[in-house]
């Protein structure tokens, strides 16, 4: 299993647009084969910080997600709205 934690700081005037795009991204990603979870988070004390938590059945499923056109479109929206480069961390979970 692969777990992904990502976050970005968004310009205040772009938060609503990115949040809407993130909801669409989450909905679409959840329909992908191998996607087990995709949640969008917005911090309560810092609404310009948007994060995602994601779980994929395998590395191949995660790689397919990253190659999907909807993911490229979402990352373009985020890339145009951030104050610094997004942080995306992926972790392989070892099975017992």
Cα–Cα distance measured from residue 28 to residue 91, given in angstroms and rounded to the nearest whole number: 22
Q: Determine the structural domain holding residue 65 and report its residue range.
A: 2-92
Residue indicated by tokens 């985020």: 78
pLDDT tens-digit map of 36-92: 999 999 989 999 999 999 999 999 999 999 999 999 999 999 999 999 999 999 999
Q: Residue 63 maps to which CATH number?
A: 3.30.70.100
3-state DSSP call for residue 2? Answer: strand
Q: Give the total number of structural domains in the chain.
A: 1
Measuring CA to CA, how many Å separate 13 from each of 6, 9, 24, 30, 80? 21, 12, 19, 28, 12
What is the band of 94 on the pLDDT scale with cuts at 50, 70, 90?
Answer: confident
Nearest to 51 by CA among 28, 76, 18: 18
Q: Is the pTM of this model over 0.75?
A: yes
The DSSP line for 8-77 is EEB-GGGHHHHHHHHHHHHHHHTTSTTEEEEEEEE-SS-TTEEEEEEEESSHHHHHHHHHSHHHHHHHHH
18 is written with which tokens? 């990115």
């Amino acid at each position: 299993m692969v777990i992904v934690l990502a976050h970005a700081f968004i310009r205040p005037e772009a938060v609503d647009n990115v949040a809407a795009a993130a909801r669409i991204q989450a909905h679409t990603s959840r329909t992908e084969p191998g996607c087990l979870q995709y949640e969008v988070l917005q911090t309560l004390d810092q609404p310009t910080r948007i994060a995602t938590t994601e779980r994929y059945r395998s590395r191949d499923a995660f790689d397919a997600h990253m190659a999907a056109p909807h993911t490229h479109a979402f990352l373009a929206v985020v890339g145009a709205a951030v104050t610094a480069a997004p942080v995306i961390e992926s972790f392989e979970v070892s099975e017992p």
